[in-house]
Amino acid sequence: MSIAIIGAGMAGAACVSKLVRQGQQVTVFDKGRSAGGRMSSKRTVQGYLDLGAQYFTARDVAFMAQCQHWLRAGSIAQWRGRLARLDDGIVVASPDESVRFVGAPSMQAPVAALLDTVSLHTGCQVDRLAFDGKRWQLFSAGVSLGQFNQLVLAIPQQQAEQLLQGAIPLNAELNSLFATPALLPCWAVNVSLAHSPWPYDGIFGETTSPLSWLARQGSKPGRCQGEHWLLHFNPAFSQQQLEADSSDIADAALQALQQLMGEPLSAKVSHCHRWRYAQQNPAFPHYGMVYRPELALGLAGDWLNGGRVENAWLSGVQLAREIAQ
Ligand code: FAD
Ligand code: NAI
| Mean pLDDT (whole number) for 45-61 | 96
Q: Residue with the nearest Cα to atom 30 of ligand 1?
A: 53
- β-bridge mates for residue 219, sequence order: none
Question: Do 272 and 51 touch, CB atoms closer than 8 A?
Answer: no
Q: Residue with the nearest Cα to atom 19 of ligand 2?
A: 94
Question: Do 10 and 70 touch, CB atoms closer than 8 A?
Answer: no
DSSP 131: E
Question: Do 192 and 227 touch, CB atoms closer than 8 A?
Answer: yes
Instruction: Please indicate whether residue 38, judged by its CB atom, sits closer than 6 Å to ligand 2.
Output: no
The answer to whether residue 1 scores a pLDDT higher than 90 is no
Distance separating alpha carbons of residues 276 and 184, to the nearest angstrom? 7
Whose CA is closest to 214, among 28, 41, 54?
A: 54
Output the CA 207–ligand 1 centroid distance in Å. 24
Tell me how many degrees the CA angle 133-137-140 measures, rounded to the nearest 5.
Answer: 150
Instruction: Please indicate whether residue 34, judged by its CB atom, sits closer than 6 Å to ligand 2.
Output: no
Question: Do 5 and 26 touch, CB atoms closer than 8 A?
Answer: yes
| Mean pLDDT (whole number) for 315-322 | 98
DSSP 22: T
Distance separating alpha carbons of residues 53 and 279, to the nearest angstrom? 10
Read off the pLDDT of residues 254-311 as tens digits, 9 standing for 90 and up: 999 999 988 888 899 999 999 999 999 999 999 999 999 999 999 999 999 999 999 9
The answer to whether residue 95 scores a pLDDT higher than 90 is yes
Instruction: Please indicate whether residue 94, judged by its CB atom, sits closer than 6 Å to ligand 2.
Output: yes
What phi, psi does 118 have (nearest 5°)?
-105, 155
| Mean pLDDT (whole number) for 122-135 | 97
List of residues 6+ apart from 243 with CB closer than 8 A? none
Q: Which ligand is nearest to the CA of 235?
A: 2
| Mean pLDDT (whole number) for 178-203 | 95
Instruction: Please indicate whether residue 197, judged by its CB atom, sits closer than 6 Å to ligand 1.
Output: no
In DSSP notation, 1-12 reads -EEEEE--SHHH
How many CB atoms within 10 Å of residue 131? 15
Question: Do 239 and 185 touch, CB atoms closer than 8 A?
Answer: yes
The answer to whether residue 17 scores a pLDDT higher than 90 is yes
Q: Which ligand is nearest to the CA of 279?
A: 2
**What pLDDT band is residue 92 in, cutting at 50, 70 and 90?**
very high
Q: Residue with the nearest Cα to atom 33 of ligand 2?
A: 308
Instruction: Give the rounded percent of residues in the chain with a pLDDT score beyond 90.
Output: 93
Task: Give pTM, 2 decimals.
Answer: 0.98
| Mean pLDDT (whole number) for 180-207 | 95
Whose CA is closest to 325, among 107, 11, 18, 108?
A: 18
Q: Provide the mean pLDDT of the chain.
A: 96
Q: What does the pLDDT read at residue 117?
A: 86
Distance separating alpha carbons of residues 105 and 238, to the nearest angstrom? 28
Q: Residue with the nearest Cα to atom 28 of ligand 1?
A: 54
| Mean pLDDT (whole number) for 231-241 | 98
List of residues 6+ apart from 272 with CB closer than 8 A? 187, 188, 189, 190, 246, 247, 249, 250, 253
Whose CA is closest to 231, among 264, 183, 192, 282?
A: 192
Instruction: Please indicate whether residue 311, judged by its CB atom, sits closer than 6 Å to ligand 2.
Output: no
Distance separating alpha carbons of residues 252 and 249, to the nearest angstrom? 5
**What pLDDT band is residue 315 in, cutting at 50, 70 and 90?**
very high
Instruction: Please indicate whether residue 57, judged by its CB atom, sits closer than 6 Å to ligand 2.
Output: yes
Distance separating alpha carbons of residues 241 and 248, to the nearest angstrom? 9
Question: Do 302 and 278 touch, CB atoms closer than 8 A?
Answer: no
Q: What does the pLDDT read at residue 180?
A: 94
Q: Which ligand is nearest to the CA of 122?
A: 1
Least trusted range by pLDDT, from 88-97, 168-177, 234-243:
168-177
